[in-house]
Structure 1
Amino acid sequence: MRSLRRPRLLVPALLCALAVLAARPPGASDAAADGDSHGAADAGISAQVARLYEDAAVATQRYEAGRQEAEVQRAQAERFEALLDRERQGIAVLHEDLGRIARAQYRSGGGLPITAQMILADDPDNLMRGQRAVWRADLAVNNAIDKSRRAEARLAADEKKAAAAWRELDRHATELADLKRDIEAKLEQARWQLQGQADASVAAGSCRGAVRLDQADADVTSGWIAPVKSYELSAAFGSGGARWANRHTGQDFAVPIGTPVRAVGAGRVVKVSCGGPFGIEVVLRHAGGYYTQYAHLAAAAVDQGESVSAGHWIGQSGTSGNSTGPHLHFEVRVTPETGSAVDPVPWLAARGVPLE
């Protein structure tokens, strides 16, 4: 049974916002209109992926919030249903009591007019006291029945209104799910368009310049942060694999193409490269002489020589170079070059960033 409490339908406002997002064409660009500028178009697709990435995350969060609210309302509906069942059981009990009283009255002469009963009774006073008790009991039972029937009528009306409200909520939830899927489809298309640009840059061995992405301030409390916000850990440091000459030199984070990649700590960009087995890569130098590498990117968002803070977006993940699928290859080194890597998991954990 559906909830008897009309749910707060906050979905329509969200649907309007998401409808605007879903209406954006896949090839739309936030860059200034310049038909002769290939760089502006490249930056536009990067910005579009970043924007759609956030839009999809927001849509998913709100969709899940709506689903959880529906679960709460479903639990409320079950409680109301239990109350209604108890009311109906109470009415049945009262009906049985009234039947017993009626049968008792009939057996004790209740079928005779009260005047005749008084004339024939041995003790009229006792008869009247007994009759008043029966009247009071009968009145109480009838009042209780009327009250319960009114309550049942109200609950039945509430059920009808609640059912209509649930149908409306289900309709909005379906629309929201459709819009969410539409945003995700546009995002997937834009991601692979971004990856195509990355592959072209790697094939040419020439970077197309930093793409500047708008971003919110990162929530960094310890001065260090994970290189991506949401992830699954895949190939670990030191693991074997057919695609590596010796052992894996970093920690891989399985994330979709276009995921914002963040500087794990404050530092300076010492390398931006777009060729070779790492595809598009960025290398940062940090205080203390350590270096971090971010490889297989779809785009770089910084230029060599820039200073960055912890959490600053330095690129977007991809699958460029020697890569079998979308992920971020992250290394910690004691020099800017390969061959000096240390295990990044304990290195980050020592700086207050445990990876899970």
Structure 2
Amino acid sequence: MRFARRHPLLTAVLLCALAVLAARPADGDGPHAPGHGSASGISAEVARLYEEAATATERYEEGRREAERQRARAHRLEQRLDRERRETAGLREDLGRIASSQYRDGGGLPLTAHMLLADDPDELMRGQRVVQQAEVSLDKAIDRSERAEARLARDEARAAAAWRRLEKRNAELADLRQGIEAKLEAARWKLQGHADASVAAGACRGAVRLDQPETRFTSRWVAPVETYELSASYGSGGARWANRHTGQDFAVPIGTPVRAVGTGEVVKVSCSGAFGIEIVIRHAGGYHTQYAHLAAVAVDQGDRVTPGQWIGQSGTSGNSTGPHLHFEVRVTPETGSAVDPVSWLARHGVSL
């Protein structure tokens, strides 16, 4: 299995798609439309979940950036504390040497007693000046040590508080992320439930006009989904297919925006059969692309599409063992005329 590049904007793209799905009424809604009576309630719930998830996603991204900034600040504090600890240890060694020197020189006796006991008073006075200088040095060293100890204690407290804040933020972000994923999963399956109802009724609900992303493709051809894992390939054998697999499967979550791979015209929108909800597009040169097992469509038959335009959302409708997009390239609109889609896309400059 080959893997494509991951994009951090996938969640935001999915949320936008779900929001538009909830906000816009479907063209085919009516008293006899599949799923009527529950569709409006599902749409309202998806809209509510979108609002909550969008807000939570924004908070999560900002919190994640703040956590990284806090981690960097805490790391700098730790480095500063290491320097201060080394400096304090050096000051303590200086204090020990000065104190030992004073003790050896008789520090602590009154100056008069030293003069009475001294053989050479002048020499004594010179020595006394050295002692006084040593005492001054000692006082300064003690003062520096006390300041260093206070600074060290203050910075250690700041570092500990910074790490506590970071740990709290990380715990909050973990809970937030878990909540987002749970809400998204629930929204995806509600969307899929509506798709299953349409397939069971054998009639499409109608196009949900998705707001298109602001993207500018420099190439004439693109992959049918932005982020994916390749699963079943063209020509694969197995009990799931009558003969051989006729397309390339892209493993993607339910609700992932599906894109037109190139300029063309929608010649078929169907919501029944083994392919579930499917779209077929005719391109220049007589080739056709099929997008199957969808959860929703965003185009109608006869629409013109451009490269990268969102035409629907992936799902697991029809004869499907799990969420994925079945992408097929044919020389006619009908089944039985498929060619290898990976090679076909490669000839058009799209490497999967």
TM-score normalised per structure 1: 0.77
Residue 30 of structure 1 aligns with which residue? 23
Give the match for residue 242 of structure 2. 245
Q: Which one is further off, 286-295 or 85-94?
A: 85-94
Residue 73 of structure 1 deviates from its aligned partner by: 3.6
Matches within 5 A, 1:138-287: 138-287=135-284
Q: CA deviation at 1:45?
A: 5.1
The alpha carbon displacement at 1:65 in A equals: 6.6
Contact 1:261 1:316 in 2 (8 A): yes
Q: Which one of the candidate residues 310, 317, 321 is aligned to 1:313?
A: 310
CA distance in 2, matches of 1:172, 1:152: 30
Q: Is the 8 A contact 1:218 1:312 kept in 2?
A: no
| Unaligned residue ranges in structure 2 (runs of 5+) | 1-14
Paired AA for residue 23 in structure 2? D
Partner of 2:335: 338
Equivalent-residue separation in structure 2 for 1:170 and 1:53 (angstroms):
28
Aligned to 1:77: 74
The separation in 1 between residues aligned to 2:351 and 2:299, in whole angstroms, is: 26
Aligned to 1:302: 299
Task: Give distance in 1, aligned partners of 2:158 and 2:298.
Answer: 54
Assess if the C-alpha contact under 8 Å between 1:29 and 1:44 holds in 2: no
Counterpart secondary structure, 1:110: coil
- Measured against aligned partners, the alpha-carbon deviations of 1:58-79 in whole angstroms (never above 9, x if no partner) come to 8568636744653564454345
Deviations along 1:277-334, whole A, 9 cap, x unmatched? 1111111122233221110001111001101111211011111111000100111222
The alignment status of 1:289 with 2:286, answered yes or no, reads yes
State the aligned residue count.
Answer: 330
Give the direction of change, closer, same or farther, for the CA distance of 1:286–1:228 in structure 2 (3 Å limit). Answer: same
Q: AA paired with 2:336?
A: G
TM-score, structure 2 normalization: 0.78
Gaps of 5+ in 1: 1-20
Contact preservation (8 Å) 2:24, 2:209: no
How far did residue 223 of structure 1 move?
2.7
Whether the 8 Å CA contact 2:252–2:325 is kept in 1: the answer is yes
SS at match of 1:104: helix
Deviations 1:147-188 (A, max 9, x none): 343233234334434544554454454444434433332332
Aligned residue in 1 for 2:103? 106
Secondary structure in 2 matching 1:223: coil
Structure 1 contact 30–44 (Cα < 8 Å) conserved: no
Paired with 2:43 and 2:252, the residues of 1 have a C-alpha distance of 16
Q: Distance in 2 between matches of 1:52 and 1:216?
A: 21
Does residue 1:92 correspond to 2:95, yes or no? no
Give the partner amino acid of 2:88.
Answer: I
- d(CA) in 2 for partners of 1:280, 1:208: 10
- Contact 1:294-1:331 at 8 Å conserved across structures: yes
Q: Indicate the SS of the match to 2:226.
A: coil
- Counterpart of 1:105 in structure 2: which amino acid? Q
Q: CA RMSD in A?
A: 3.6
Q: What CA deviation, in whole Å up to 9, does each residue of 1:223-262 have, x standing for no partner?
A: 3222112211111122222111222221111111111111
Q: Is the 8 A contact 2:63 2:169 kept in 1?
A: no
User: What secondary structure, in the 3-state scheme, does the structure 2 residue paired with 1:298 have?
Assistant: strand
1:99 aligned counterpart, secondary structure: helix
Rate the CA distance shift 1:330–1:312 in 2: closer, same or farther, 3 A: same
Q: Is the 8 A contact 2:260 2:307 kept in 1?
A: yes
What one-letter code is carried by the residue in structure 2 that aligns with 1:136? Q
